[in-house]
Chains A and B, each alone.
Chain A
Amino acid sequence: MAQLSYLSPSSVDDAVKALSGASARALSGGTDLLVQVRSGRAKPDQIVDLKRIPGLIGIRAENGGFVIGSATCGAMLSEHPTLSKIWPGIVEAANLIGSTQVQGRASLGGNLCNASPAADSVPALIAARASCVIAGPGGAREAAVETIVNGPGKTSLAAGEFIIAFKLPPRGPRSSDAYLRMIPRTEMDIAIAGAAVSLALDADGVCTSAFVALGAVAPTALLVAEAGQALIGSRLEAAALTRMEEAVRAACQPISDKRGTADYRTKIAAVLAHRAAVIAWNRAKEQA
């Protein structure tokens, strides 16, 4: 770390300039970056702290949806009075990242851009159809969350680009989401598999839209279109759930590593998707 320097810009433009350097890394919560720098996996020359840029931390309602500053910590998400009611799946996913201590720092922006295939918040954001507001040398742009990560540890962001905020779309009545993951202990582990389901129901409880996204079963989080489609038009009867599980299993391309075998991950992804769908459906019925 002989060359390392630390910068804390107070404007988006200053941050863009600083991040345009070849060996600059954005710092949000630091719960991934600092571990990687210490282990030698990451060797940045410059660390650019985003947290003092106005708007990077905070949650606000906008245009019927929410805008979440990308450096907002997980604990703040769960403390927000309405976010957990409207997007319980996203909030519980973010709250599964690490420990209480990690929750006091870790952010959606960092979790996404660290680009681990097992990142807990990503499947829920994808299922929610969330988008990112990205700042860069070419100005600001928006992109769907599922376009950001293109491989383990790799993002599609260009030099100088960073995520300013996440946008959650407006939510109608009788809609909700859920996220479940499988870990060996009860806390603290990286997900062996994760599944997020976001759905909406009509007045009779029939599913009118559904999105299923998986984590830790492919190089990136996966949006499984067929799995969501299997639920549409159903009240989550056994046959619909079975079709969803088949679609989930077919979509998985996991590896076997020290955390789990490919076969196990595939089986569990289907189990988790089933259970998350049922939870989301029950939550949606409660939402007037």
Chain B
Amino acid sequence: MSKQRTAAIVNGDPVEFLSDPGQTLLDVLRDELHLTGSKEGCGSGDCGACSVIMDGRLVCSCLVLAAEVEGCRVETIEGLSTGSTLHPLQQKFLDHAALQCGFCTPGILMASKALLDANPDPTESEARYWLAGNLCRCTGYDKIIKAVLDTAAELRQDRKSA
């Protein structure tokens, strides 16, 4: 069984990796590229802990084969901040105490970023339905939703003043 070679762009950097045909993007991110921020919570696309953004679309990386990533742009949690400057979502999550154990947090942050990229002014209900694919067992989602809506408001304000 020979490995296949795939070239893609991960967090803005060109990467090449070898993988078995059965390995998923999540496997490759964690085991080949050592980007362990994306987590495996279920391996079947039901929990969202492995969420990444691929060619602008929010996806579960456990449901994408490594080979499918050829030529694609992948954004993971490791690319969300810029240098040591946190993305506003990351800062708001800290400000609102929107995490407890933190395991679902990378996936939820990527999903929240995708939400605000698609819809800069979501209602509470729209935010909840968008994030329904990201399970959190610790927080009851309350502070997460507040952090996301607060970030949306702040980003809209920044755009107005810019």
Contact = CB atoms under 8 A, between A and B. Distances in A.
Interface in A93-107: 98-102, 104-105
A100 B60 CA distance: 9
Given A101-B45, A101-B111, A5 B21 contact: yes
A39 B133 CA distance: 20
Interface string A73-90: 101000000000000000
For B20, B63, B67, B133, which residue has the most chain A Cβ atoms within 10 angstroms?
B63
Nearest to A185: B132
Complex A-B, nearest 9 residue pairs according to Cβ-Cβ distance, in ascending order: A99-B133, A187-B132, A1-B22, A104-B57, A6-B21, A101-B60, A104-B59, A4-B21, A6-B67
B65 A102 contact: no
Interface in A37-89: 37-39, 47, 49, 51, 73, 75
Contacts of A101: 45, 48, 51, 58-60, 63, 111, 133
Contact of B132 (A27, A49, A186): A186
Contacts of A104: 54, 57-59
A208 interface: no
Interface stretch (A28-36, A134-142, A193-201): A28-36
A98 B64 CA distance: 15
Interface residues of B, number: 33
B49 to A, nearest CB: 11
Between B24, B46, B59, the greatest number of chain A beta carbons within 10 A of the residue's beta carbon is seen for: B59
Interface of B: 1, 4, 20-22, 24, 43-46, 48, 51, 54, 57-60, 62-65, 67-68, 70, 111, 114-115, 129-134
14 contacts: A4-B21, A5-B21, A6-B21, A8-B67, A30-B64, A73-B57, A75-B57, A99-B132, A100-B114, A100-B132, A101-B111, A102-B133, A104-B54, A104-B57
A26 to B, nearest CB: 13
B21 A1 contact: yes
A2 B3 CA distance: 11
Interface of A: 1-6, 8, 27, 29-31, 34-35, 37-39, 47, 49, 51, 73, 75, 98-102, 104-105, 186-188
A186 B129 contact: yes
B132 A105 contact: no
Contacts of B67: 6, 8, 49
A39 B63 CA distance: 13
A188 B129 contact: no
B45 A31 contact: yes
Contact of A188 (B1, B58, B62, B133): B133
Contact of B133 (A1, A4, A38, A98): A98
Contacts of B70: 8
A105 B129 CA distance: 17
A39 B64 CA distance: 15
Contacts of B63: 29-31, 34-35, 101-102, 105
A18 to B, nearest CB: 14
Nearest to B129: A187
Contacts of A5: 21
B65 A100 contact: no
Contacts of B44: 35, 38-39
Nearest to A105: B59
Contacts of B64: 30, 34, 105
Contact of A102 (B1, B45, B54, B68): B45
A121 B101 CA distance: 37
A47 B133 contact: no
Contacts of B132: 99-100, 186-188
Contacts of B134: 99
Nearest to B43: A38
A47 B24 CA distance: 13
B65 A34 contact: yes
B133 A187 contact: yes
A27 B63 CA distance: 11
